[in-house]
């Protein structure tokens, strides 16, 4: 019997980790495919209002984003606390919107241009005056398809 | 020449490198898609075009003032009552003869709208109105249209309007898509979204 007992070592064998890279790579590829990089750095407060009659906005490459809201605390000193528009990474004036729309259209393939949608990401405390100005500029640029981006929830939460 | 066996490459750090990349992509990922209320803006009008004449009773006026109060048809109203008021207006069907509406189930009040295809909701807001309030009002008005479309879709085709639109977008839908599109158009034509926005008053 001693012959058999000799082979059994008292320690646990080490777990084989050679398949760990495979598992990690699998996860890695999933996230690489599913990733959409954050396009813009927000320089404004952007707390979106709630709504429940919403439609999904898929096809992210066919969406132009216009942000509006009060500048974030660190930009308050130079830009004041009045609500501003942000296009791409910079603060902009209302008059810059048309130019922005045209340059976005340039950068897209011609056959996709009619499907472009403008997403308005506006802070819930912004006054409608600014939003109306944005809408007027969009009408002038003939970018008529818009989407008021919201969070999904009961509208009553907008008044809290 | 004698063939020497090359030493095996140490793959032990492969997992570390992969983990590093994995964590980077984990942090930068935003999976959720945006959603919101889709609307279509009216095209720019020529200055000299006469606006079409609309009967007073076919207009449902919603005014939001600078204190975010709601004034519907010259009466103060709470936001939660807005949807039912809009439904009552659109669904009224007070018209007679060629303007009669055979699918309306409303009161048929002769002082309210004739026909859903004629009824216009007019939204006026102040420049000082908060965006959150505006979105809430938009949401309720769009909700009123969706409610009525849903009702007609269920009565005519036995499924909800949302379901019909979802089926139309679904690539795996097995039914006849052309017919489904016609049906969606039919429901849309029954309850066209005539939501007009006036330029804000100071």
In a domain, A128, yes or no: yes
> How many whole angstroms separate alpha carbon B105 and alpha carbon B92?
7
Question: pLDDT by residue (tens digit) across A71-88?
Answer: 888 888 888 888 889 888
Name the residue of chain A whose CA is nearest to B132's CA: A124
Stretch A8-23: mean pLDDT = 77
In a domain, A44, yes or no: no
> How many whole angstroms separate alpha carbon B197 and alpha carbon B173?
37
In a domain, A19, yes or no: no
Q: Which of A28, A54, A145 has its CB closest to that of B36?
A: A54
Lowest mean pLDDT among A114-118, B95-99, B176-180: B95-99
| Residue A33 parent element (H or E) | helix A20-34
What's residue A54's pLDDT? 85
| Residue B114 parent element (H or E) | none
Stretch B57-67: mean pLDDT = 86
Confidence tier at A6 by pLDDT (50, 70, 90)? low
> Measured between beta carbons, which residues in chain B are less than 8 angstroms from residue A156?
79-80
Q: Which of A36, A53, A122 has its CB closest to that of B146?
A: A53
pTM of structure: 0.77
Name the residue of chain A whose CA is nearest to B64's CA: A128
In a domain, A1, yes or no: no
The CATH number that applies at residue A134 is 3.30.420.270
For A40, phi and psi rounded to 5 degrees? -120, 145
Confidence tier at B8 by pLDDT (50, 70, 90)? confident
Q: Residue-wise over B15-30: b if at least 16 C-beta within 10 A, else e?
A: beebeebbeebeeebe
Name the residue of chain B whose CA is nearest to A137's CA: B44
> How many whole angstroms separate alpha carbon B56 and alpha carbon B61?
10
SS3 B21: helix
Instruction: Pick the more confident residue, A34 or B77.
Output: B77
CA distances from A128 to A138, A143, B11 (A): 15, 19, 60
What is the extent of the structural domain holding A143?
A: 62-152
A-interface mutation test, from B19, B36, B86, B144, most A Cβ less than 10 A away: B36
CB burial of residue B125 (10 Å; 0-12, 13-18, 19+):
buried
> How many whole angstroms separate alpha carbon B166 and alpha carbon A109?
27
Question: What mean pLDDT value characterizes chain A?
Answer: 83
SS3 B85: helix
Residue A89 pLDDT > 60, yes or no? yes
Stretch A8-13: mean pLDDT = 71
Contacts of A99 (CB under 8 A, 6+ apart): none
**How much of chain B, in percent, has pLDDT values that exceed 90?**
0
Stretch B57-83: mean pLDDT = 85
In a domain, A48, yes or no: no
Quote the DSSP letter at residue B170.
-
Please check whether residue A15 touches B, CB under 8 A: no
In a domain, A9, yes or no: no
Q: Give the bridge partners for A127, in sequence order.
A: B130
Question: pLDDT by residue (tens digit) across A118-143?
Answer: 999 999 888 888 888 898 889 888 88
Residue A1 pLDDT > 60, yes or no? no
Judge whether B120 and B102 are in contact, CB under 8 Å.
no
Instruction: Pick the more confident residue, A136 or A158.
Output: A136
| Residue A55 parent element (H or E) | strand A55-56
What's residue B47's pLDDT? 74
In a domain, A120, yes or no: yes
Number of separate domains in chain A? 1
Residue A2 pLDDT > 70, yes or no? no
Question: pLDDT by residue (tens digit) across B113-161?
Answer: 888 888 888 888 888 888 888 888 888 888 888 888 999 888 888 888 8
Question: pLDDT by residue (tens digit) across B22-32?
Answer: 888 888 776 66
Question: What mean pLDDT value characterizes chain B?
Answer: 82
Contacts of A67 (CB under 8 A, 6+ apart): A40, A42, A44, A46, A85, A86, A87, A121, A122
In a domain, A4, yes or no: no
> How many whole angstroms separate alpha carbon B45 and alpha carbon A139?
10
Confidence tier at B107 by pLDDT (50, 70, 90)? confident
> How many whole angstroms separate alpha carbon B99 and alpha carbon B29?
54
**How much of chain A, in percent, has pLDDT values that exceed 90?**
1
Residue A3 pLDDT > 60, yes or no? no
CB burial of residue B131 (10 Å; 0-12, 13-18, 19+):
buried
State both tokens at B148: 């009525």
Confidence tier at A37 by pLDDT (50, 70, 90)? low
């Amino acid at each position: 019997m001693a012959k058999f007992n000799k082979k059994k070592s008292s320690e646990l064998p080490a777990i084989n980790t050679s398949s760990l890279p495979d598992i990690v790579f699998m996860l890695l590829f999933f996230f690489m495919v599913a990733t959409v990089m954050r396009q813009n750095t927000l320089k404004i407060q952007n707390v979106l209002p709630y709504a429940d009659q919403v439609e999904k906005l898929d096809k992210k490459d066919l969406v132009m984003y216009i942000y509006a809201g009060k500048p974030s605390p660190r930009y308050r000193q130079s830009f004041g606390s009045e609500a501003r528009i942000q296009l791409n990474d910079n603060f902009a004036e209302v008059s810059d919107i048309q130019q922005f729309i045209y340059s976005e259209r340039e950068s897209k393939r011609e056959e996709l241009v009619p499907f472009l949608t403008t997403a308005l990401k506006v802070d819930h405390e912004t006054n409608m005056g600014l939003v109306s100005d944005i809408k007027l500029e969009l009408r002038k640029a003939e970018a008529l398809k818009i989407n008021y981006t919201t969070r999904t929830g009961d509208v009553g939460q907008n008044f809290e | 020449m004698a063939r020497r066996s090359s030493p095996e490459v140490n793959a032990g750090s492969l997992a570390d490198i992969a983990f590093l990349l994995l964590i980077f992509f984990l942090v930068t990922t935003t999976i959720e898609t945006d959603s919101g209320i889709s609307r279509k803006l009216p095209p720019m009008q020529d200055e000299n075009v006469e606006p079409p004449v609309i009967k007073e009773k076919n207009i449902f006026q919603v005014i939001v003032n600078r204190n975010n109060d709601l004034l519907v048809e010259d009466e103060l109203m709470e936001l939660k009552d807005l949807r039912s008021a809009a439904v009552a207006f659109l669904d009224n069907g007070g018209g007679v003869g060629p303007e009669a509406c055979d699918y309306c189930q409303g009161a048929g009040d002769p002082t309210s709208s004739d026909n859903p295809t004629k009824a216009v909701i007019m939204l006026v807001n102040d420049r000082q109105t908060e965006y959150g309030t505006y979105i809430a009002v938009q949401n309720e008005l769009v909700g009123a249209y969706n409610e009525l479309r849903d009702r007609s879709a269920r009565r005519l085709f036995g499924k909800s309007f949302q379901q019909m639109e979802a089926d139309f977008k679904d690539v795996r839908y097995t039914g006849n898509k052309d017919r489904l599109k016609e049906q969606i158009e039919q429901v849309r034509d029954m309850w066209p979204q005539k939501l007009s926005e006036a330029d804000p008053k100071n």
